[in-house]
Chains A and B, each alone.
Chain A
Amino acid sequence: MKLVLKKIISLIITLFVVSLLAFLAFQIIPGDPTTKILGTSATPEKVAQLRSELGLDRPVMIRYLDWLGSFVRGEFGTSYTYRRDVSVLLSDKLPVTVLLTVISFLITVVISVPLGILAGSTRRKWVDHIFVILDQVLMAIPPFFFGIISCFLFGIVLKWFMPGNFISLKESPARCIAYLILPAVCLALPRIAMTVRMLRSSVQEELAQNYVLTARSRGLSRGGIIQRHVLKNAMIPVVTFLAVSAAEIMTGTIIIEQVFTIPGTGRLLVSSIGNRDFPVVQAIIVILAAWIVIVNFAADMLNRWMDPRMRVE
């Protein structure tokens, strides 16, 4: 319990450091945001007025604490280009991205875990070979190329859907999810390949251990040993890897949203980087970073729960 508390404190510190870095990173940008808003021909008085309006004339640390305070309350500042609250901009975009991430992550877990166990425990040489080759090929295909291929195949050749014709969550949740499935699969495929590969070697490693031999000599069936003993150990590194996957998938949405023209946070992020609309960029980056830190924390906790050896320290 003491350890969990320590971990939680370290999580909070990490979140602090990440937010501080994200804040400072956008302070060193050359150029003043006032020129972005007022243009280069603004009078010095107007600039000074806007600077104090935006709070830019105060010390950096005060501004950071201020920013963090309002960030926690869900006020992410005002977009330079849209002249609207970033939280308003995000409110209908974030759910789409989260939904896409969740669908994609579920697909990854549901498909890769059984396949990985199969790949690791098979005794047929050719099955093993097929898995290795398939893994190599799938890992080499970037998700956005998967996306382009499926837009072409399912959108243009088979006409199952209209690429770009996104149905919003409010309009019809079912059709929105249906539209998101294909991009989710594209995002999941390389992650599935990696997870299968990882679980395969993890299961193979465990199967070579002496305890498996002992259990076999005591007359337990191979399938039973895999289910009851091997998986418990083999899943431990995979859980950590799945946490990494959850982070990678969330980042991957930035690109896949571009391919399928899904109006999520990723598209907003890319266009904001193009427009140098820093409050938006900053908000999205901090949200993504916080998500990654929290997911890693959850994986760490899950690991501790699964692996008693890690609790002794």
Chain B
Amino acid sequence: MKIRNNAYFITGGILSALLTVIIVVGLFWTPYSTTAMNAKEKMQPPSAMHILGTDNFGRDLFSRVMEGAGTSFLIAVMVVVIGCAAGILIGSLCGYFGGLADIILMHICDTITAFPAILLALVIISITGGGAMNIVLALGILFIPSFARVVRTEYAACRDLNYIKSARLMGVSTPRILYAHILPNTLPVLIPAVTIGFNNAVLAEASMSFLGIGIQPPQASLGSMLKDSQNYLNSAPWYALGTGLAVVLLILAFSLLSEGVQQGSRRK
């Protein structure tokens, strides 16, 4: 993969590295307290002291965005980890062994992907109730098919290649063939799937928290902050704009990254 000189990859890489640093720092330290209220500094526009301004309780918005982005980021990462791990497991077994189970499972995957993830997540959440853990589980399960699909295609293509056949003849165990020999070959399709999945997860979590059925207060995510900010659009527009911009940057960074990777691998 020749991706070094790709403008999208570089921009996306720098942006996502920067955001990741801010988010990781935000897990341990924020410039101001994210909970302490300060009536004197209510709804301050952005200034040198508060670069994104303050909200209706006088809390520093940059600190709040750091915290909220952290929640959104962690949820998205967990969703992708669940979806990707289960997807690799199902995809590898289906692709390698084939048979009736493969046909049935892939049919189920196709049916699930036909429905927008948010709609299915809403169904699950309406039954199980909201909260961070339920969101992660619901979205994680719904993201399995997209990973299983791409992984399965690669495994089915690799199954009968000579190097796998010879590995089998040499007595390499099946798990080792599956995950040490074939898995690295799926990386070119898996990496874009992971970045796209991450973006979809950020978007889905933000949408659900925005609807008020995702992250519940006092915990804040970018989506739930945007929901609150809508009430102050008239008096404190920076609240909504700053928070929304954080969502956009987070998604943009990773989609630029995946665009760069895809262009780089295509040129090969």
Contacts and interface: CB of A to CB of B under 8 A. Distances in A.
Contact of A144 (B115, B199, B207, B237): B207
Interface string B45-79: 00000000000000000000000000000000000
A148 B240 contact: yes
The secondary-structure label for the interface of chain A is helix
Interface stretch (B27-35, B120-128, B141-149): B120-128
A145 B256 CA distance: 19
A144 B212 contact: no
B226 interface: yes
B194 interface: no
Contacts of A144: 206-207, 210, 226
A285 B233 contact: no
A80 B23 CA distance: 43
B119 A251 contact: yes
Interface string A226-267: 000000000000000000000110011011001100000000
Interface in B214-268: 226, 229-230, 233-234, 237, 240-241, 244, 247-249, 251-252, 255-256, 259
A273 B233 contact: no
A60 B213 CA distance: 29
Contacts of A255: 118, 207, 210-211
Contacts of A152: 233, 237, 240-241
> Of residues B125, B210, B213, B252, which shows the largest number of chain A Cβ atoms within 10 Å of its Cβ?
B210
Contacts of B116: 247-248, 251-252, 292
A289 interface: yes
Interface residues of B, number: 37
Given A145-B248, A149-B244, A292-B114, A254 B122 contact: yes
Contact of B241 (A139, A149, A258): A149
A139 B234 CA distance: 27
A156 interface: yes
Contacts of A137: 248, 252
A132 to B, nearest CB: 8
A281 B126 contact: yes
B230 A148 contact: yes
A137 B199 CA distance: 13
A270 interface: yes
Interface size class of A (residues with CB under 8 A): 35 or more
Contact of A25 (B127, B211, B256): B127
B203 interface: yes
A151 interface: yes
A296 B116 CA distance: 12
A274 interface: yes
A32 to B, nearest CB: 14
A312 interface: no
A310 interface: no
A5 interface: no
Nearest to A267: B211
Contacts of A278: 126
Contacts of A269: 122
A26 interface: yes
Interface string B102-134: 000000000100111011001101110000000
Interface of A: 14, 22, 25-26, 28-29, 132, 136-137, 139-142, 144-145, 148-149, 151-152, 156, 163, 247-248, 251-252, 254-255, 258-259, 269-270, 273-274, 276, 278, 281, 285, 288-289, 292-293, 296
6 contacts: A22-B123, A139-B251, A139-B255, A142-B203, A152-B233, A292-B115
